[in-house]
């Protein structure tokens, strides 16, 4: 080897810009512009992962890394950045990349790199597909336990000029299924589409006080808050103090004892199915899945767990799956004495899994002296499918929706399941619910998507009309697919009869009646749900949202802070929300400021903290600081809020700072993005409302009012009391900006006495209300104590 040569082991990345050659032939000026933009964007990412640019080859990059992990992390961050960049652009201006990564021997010579590592990386790159990352088996082996990602095996592949077929993998990028992943270091965080994302971290209010995202465009239709359990803070928050019901039980998450750790989905699926099976036993009180989820891998003593959950018994279990055999173990423990009532082990063929679930549920009911009615016994003994491959797909799909809201992946799995077993009613029902959630979360509001939802639920109902799972998803179909809350509530009312101990059934009833404005009825139903799910994060977060943002009961909201922080001590967003509650009550940002001052974010939390600092700056009317932060971080994608709506927010901040020219430039960008999205989502009321606000800032009065009118037609308060009032609120702001101040004031006066009608302290500093500042009538409205106190009782009847 020459003294000028250096041989070493390195990870090599090859990239290719999709469609560049044909683009250059059609519009060379556009092609060159996008090429330079693509180079600038990626060159800003390589150093963060110690990537060394070796050379460019036309529209391709050759990059060297010291480790396979850094190469994979860099590839994910590159695709994430491009996905974010492509979010609101037209098809012809999209920049899409294919990435191939291999690790092997390379030789450095004369400023270039040669060897198999380079050759193989260049050969596998085309297999990645647009927006994808293809890696060799050597890379996959090194990163499988270090990178929080999933891999799709492509199988042995013949590559040009490579002697032997190679095992290749494709990294599954979370946002391909509806989420957005931020990769920094070893960990990743996935954000879900709005109405599910908010529910998991404090709801819409978790984005800070309802100003920056919640009562701004893009969020009002997505929240799912939950009414309070009682009208007094102490009673609302009290953990079970009295002796627990002697027939109460918590089933802890089952341990996955399989050698193949991928079988965790199976253990989780069995755990959930046993819980839903026990929920049909009227004589039992069964703690919900979401309440027990926090005890996975816990070291807490059983007695402490039982006390926290308010139960007399705890069931621990495990699942071991190998080939066509399965072992399910369970031990029932009497919490008061730590006595093992019994321990059972079921060693069976895999196709007996439903019989095992039935026997285990029956054994539990018997031990707790709960007699089973013939109907309950029939429901417990049900066998949903005889095709275990279909059952696996069903369980995986259910996991994908619950854990990460990965609707696209769930849809594929469920379609496989019903193809394997066309008579699998529960899979058809879950597929319908998945289609409906695409529509409700504005990911796909096409007639085709609604038709798919209808076809799937019709099949499920035809196959098993009396199945509790089918009834539940029929309710989802009406709720998420059509906002038909009356018919949805009918189905969930049926479910409470069949599964009287299912907290989610009561929770969903409360959510539906809340959207109908039936506040008292919703409160009663949610009271029962709270009873059955004493430590349910979803329930607590949404409960707090209702008492805080819906009913302005600030002391009750504050009383919920302690248990929420105890349940999620490491959740930065939860901490932010809890410290910001005092602003809603008294307009002070002191507590929130103090918290922000002591936060030491990890690299992966930096983007969120910048977002929170920007929101706080707006609440303090420190517009110059908010604008400075926006220059540092133009978009925050942790909540999947479209870029055009984020542009609209900062446009109004610019206007409040006095820079009208800059505000209108950003409003033009926001309007262009909203129009682009409306081409795909013509029935999206939030986008129409936002287009109205952008036009108002641009001085286009006629068009602003037309867009606002369309928004209110699509989402009237009579259709949805939560989403509808958010649209009315935004349209009232448009009236103010186009000079219709009398109408704006009349609307605001009405909305302020309506649940979810906004907070006076946030309105006072909200740039969207800038034209009304200094108007004596506006100030009088905000100073009226009735508009910042508990809503009048009459408003809830």
DSSP 481-503: HH--HHHHHHHHHHHHHH-TT-H
Shared domain check, 160 and 68: yes
The DSSP annotation for 743-756 comes to HHHHHHHHHTTSTT
Q: Are residues 126 and 254 in the same domain?
A: no
Better-predicted residue by pLDDT, 272 or 701: 701
Q: What is the mean pLDDT of residues 377-400?
A: 87
Residue 373 lies in a domain: yes
More confident residue, 10 or 217: 10
Residue 463 pLDDT > 90 = yes
Say whether both 164 and 46 belong to one domain.
yes
Strand duo 166-172 + 60-65: pairing: unpaired
From 383, 414, 444, give the residue that closes a domain.
383
Do residues 167 and 245 share a domain? no
166 and 308 co-located in one domain: no
3-state SS, 409-444, equals HHHHHHHHHHHHCCCCHHHHHHHHHHHHHHHHCCCC
Please give the helix or strand (H or E) that residue 702 lies within, else none: helix 701-714
Q: 243 falls in which pLDDT band (50, 70, 90)? A: confident
Average confidence (pLDDT) over 761-767? 91
CATH number (domain holding residue 137): 3.30.70.1230
Please indicate, yes or no, if residue 463 is contained in any of the structural domains.
Answer: no
Please tell me the predicted confidence (pLDDT) of residue 242: 58
492 domain-assigned: no
> Do the domain assignments include residue 582?
no
User: What's the CATH code of the domain at 326?
Assistant: 3.40.50.10610
Does pTM surpass 0.75?
Answer: no
Distance separating the N- and C-terminal Cα atoms of the chain? 87
**Could you write out the DSSP letters of every residue in 27-49?**
-HHHHHHHHHHHHHHHHTTGGGG
Number of Cβ within 10 Å of residue 522's Cβ equals 24
Question: Could you tell me what percent of the chain has a pLDDT over 70?
Answer: 87
Domain end position, chosen among 142, 172, 202: 172
Task: Return the pLDDT at 161.
Answer: 58
Give the residue from 383, 403, 419 where a domain finishes. 383
**How would residue 138 be classed by pLDDT, with cut points 50, 70 and 90?**
confident
Same-domain status, 118 and 20? yes
Mean per-residue pLDDT over the chain, rounded: 81
- Separation of alpha carbons 705 and 743, rounded Å: 12
Query: Are 249 and 372 contained in the same domain?
Result: yes
Q: Could you tell me if residue 751 is inside a domain?
A: yes
The confidence score (pLDDT) of residue 357 equals: 85
Strands 248-251, 255-256: parallel, antiparallel or unpaired by DSSP? unpaired
> Rounded to the nearest 5°, which phi and psi values hold at 335?
-65, -40
Q: Please, are residues 237 and 293 in contact by the beta-carbon 8 Å criterion?
A: no
pLDDT score, position 280:
82
pLDDT score for 403: 66
**Do 130 and 249 fall into the same domain?**
no
**DSSP secondary structure string, 117-175?**
HHHHHHHHGGGG-TT-EEEEHHHHHHHTTTS--EEEEEEEE--TT-SS-EEEEEEE-GG
pLDDT in tens, 547-605: 777 778 888 888 888 888 887 888 888 899 899 888 888 889 999 999 999 988 888 88
702 within domain boundaries: yes
Is the confidence at residue 61, as pLDDT, over 70?
Answer: yes
289 and 164 share a domain?
no
Residue 327, pLDDT score: 87
Q: Residues near 61 by Cβ (< 8 Å), separated by ≥ 6?
A: 13, 14, 15, 39, 42, 53, 55
| pLDDT, tens only, 703-731 | 999 999 999 999 999 888 888 999 999 99
- In Å, how far from its chain's centre is CA 547? 22
Domain limits at 25? 6-172
For position 232, what pLDDT does the model report? 30
> What tokens does 529 get?
């749900």
- The per-residue pLDDT for 513 is 84
* pLDDT, position 157: 63
Count up the domains in the chain and report the number.
3
| Predicted local confidence at residue 184, as pLDDT | 31
Q: How far is CA 367 from CA 332, 360, 476, 643, 754, in A?
A: 9, 11, 34, 56, 50
Instruction: Kindly report, residue by residue over 89-128, the tens digit of the pLDDT.
Output: 777 788 989 999 998 888 888 778 888 778 888 888 888 8
Query: Do 691 and 769 fall within a single domain?
Result: yes
- Do 374 and 268 sit in the same domain of this protein? yes
* Angle at alpha carbon of residue 406, lines to 401 and 409, rounded to 5°: 105
459, containing H or E segment = helix 447-463
| DSSP codes, 60-117 | EEEEEESSHHHHHHHHHHHHHHHHHHTTTS-GGG---EEEEEEEEEEEEETTEEESHH
Does a structural domain hold residue 557?
Answer: no
Q: What kind and span of H or E run contains 670?
A: helix 660-680
pLDDT in tens, 244-303: 888 888 889 888 887 777 778 888 888 888 888 888 888 888 887 878 888 887 788 888
Does a structural domain hold residue 641?
no
* Same domain flag for 164 and 267: no
């Amino acid at each position: 080897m020459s003294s000028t040569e250096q041989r070493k082991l390195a990870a090599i990345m090859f990239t290719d810009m999709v469609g560049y050659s044909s683009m250059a032939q059609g519009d060379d000026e556009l092609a060159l512009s996008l090429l330079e933009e693509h180079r600038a964007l990626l060159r800003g990412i390589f150093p963060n992962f110690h990537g060394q640019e070796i050379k460019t080859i036309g529209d391709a990059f050759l990059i060297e890394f010291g480790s396979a992990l850094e190469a994979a992390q860099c590839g994910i961050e590159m695709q994430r950045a491009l996905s974010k960049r492509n979010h609101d652009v037209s098809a012809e201006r999209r920049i899409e990349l294919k990435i191939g990564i291999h690790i092997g021997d390379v030789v450095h010579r004369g400023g270039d790199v040669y060897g198999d590592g380079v050759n193989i990386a260049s050969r596998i790159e085309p297999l990645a597909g647009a927006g994808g990352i293809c890696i060799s088996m050597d890379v996959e082996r090194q990163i499988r336990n270090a990178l929080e990602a999933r891999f799709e095996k492509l199988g042995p592949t013949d590559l040009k000029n490579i002697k032997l077929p190679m095992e290749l993998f494709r990294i599954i990028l979370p946002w391909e299924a509806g989420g957005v992943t931020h990769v920094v270091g070893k960990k990743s965080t996935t954000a879900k589409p709005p109405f599910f994302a908010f529910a998991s971290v404090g709801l819409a209010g978790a984005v800070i006080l309802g100003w920056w995202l919640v009562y701004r465009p893009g969020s009002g239709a997505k929240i799912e808050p939950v009414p309070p359990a009682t009208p007094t803070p102490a009673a609302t928050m009290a953990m079970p103090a009295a002796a627990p019901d002697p027939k109460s039980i918590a089933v802890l998450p089952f341990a996955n004892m399989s050698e193949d750790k991928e079988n965790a989905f199976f253990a989780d699926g069995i755990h959930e199915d046993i819980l839903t099976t026990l929920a049909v036993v009227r004589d039992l009180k069964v703690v919900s899945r979401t309440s027990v989820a926090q005890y996975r891998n816990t070291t807490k003593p059983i007695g402490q767990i039982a006390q926290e959950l308010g139960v007399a018994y705890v069931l621990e279990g495990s699942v071991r799956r190998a080939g066509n055999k399965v072992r399910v173990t369970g031990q029932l423990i009497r919490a008061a004495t730590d006595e093992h009532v019994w321990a059972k082990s079921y060693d069976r063929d895999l196709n007996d899994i439903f019989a095992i679930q039935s026997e285990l549920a029956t054994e539990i009911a018997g031990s707790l002296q709960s007699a089973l009615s013939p109907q309950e016994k029939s429901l417990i003994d049900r066998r949903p499918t005889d095709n275990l491959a279909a059952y696996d797909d069903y369980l995986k799909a259910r996991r994908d929706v619950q854990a990460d809201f990965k609707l696209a992946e769930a849809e594929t799995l469920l379609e496989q399941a019903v193809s394997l077993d066309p008579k699998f009613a529960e899979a058809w029902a879950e597929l319908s619910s998945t289609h409906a959630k695409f529509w409700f979360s504005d990911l796909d509001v096409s007639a085709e998507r609604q038709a798919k939802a209808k076809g799937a639920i019709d099949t499920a109902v035809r196959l098993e009309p009396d199945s509790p799972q089918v009834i539940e998803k029929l309710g989802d179909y009406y709720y998420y697919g059509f906002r038909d809350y009356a018919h949805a509530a009918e189905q969930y009312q049926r479910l409470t009869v069949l599964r009287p101990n299912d907290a989610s059934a009561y929770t969903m009833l409360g959510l539906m009646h809340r959207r109908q404005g039936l506040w008292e009825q919703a409160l009663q139903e949610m009271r029962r749900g709270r009873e059955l799910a004493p430590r349910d994060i979803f329930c607590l977060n949404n409960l707090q949202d209702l008492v805080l943002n819906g009913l302005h009961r600030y002391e009750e909201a504050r009383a919920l802070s302690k248990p929420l922080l105890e349940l999620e001590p490491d959740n930065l967003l939860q901490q932010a929300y809890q410290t910001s509650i005092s602003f809603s009550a008294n307009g002070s940002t002191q507590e929130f400021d103090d918290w922000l001052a002591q936060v030491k974010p990890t690299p992966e939390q930096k983007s969120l903290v910048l977002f929170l600092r920007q929101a706080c700056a707006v609440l303090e009317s420190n517009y110059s600081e908010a604008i400075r932060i926006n220059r540092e971080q133009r978009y925050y994608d942790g909540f999947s809020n479209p870029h055009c709506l984020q542009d609209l927010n900062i446009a109004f901040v610019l206007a409040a700072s006095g820079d009208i020219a800059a505000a209108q430039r950003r409003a033009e960008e926001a309007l262009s993005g909203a129009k682009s999205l409306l081409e795909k989502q013509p029935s999206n009321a939030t986008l129409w409302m936002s287009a109205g606000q952008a036009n108002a800032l641009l001085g286009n009065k006629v068009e602003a009012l037309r867009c606002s009118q369309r928004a209110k037609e699509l989402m009237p308060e009579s259709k949805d009391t939560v989403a509808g009032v958010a649209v009315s609120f935004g349209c009232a702001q448009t009236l103010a900006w186009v000079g219709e101040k009398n109408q704006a004031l009349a609307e605001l006066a009405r909305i302020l006495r309506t649940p979810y009608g906004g907070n006076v302290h946030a309105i006072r500093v909200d740039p969207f209300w800038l034209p009304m500042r200094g108007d004596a009538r506006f100030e009088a409205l905000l100073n009226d104590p009735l508009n910042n106190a508990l809503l009048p009782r009459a408003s809830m009847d």
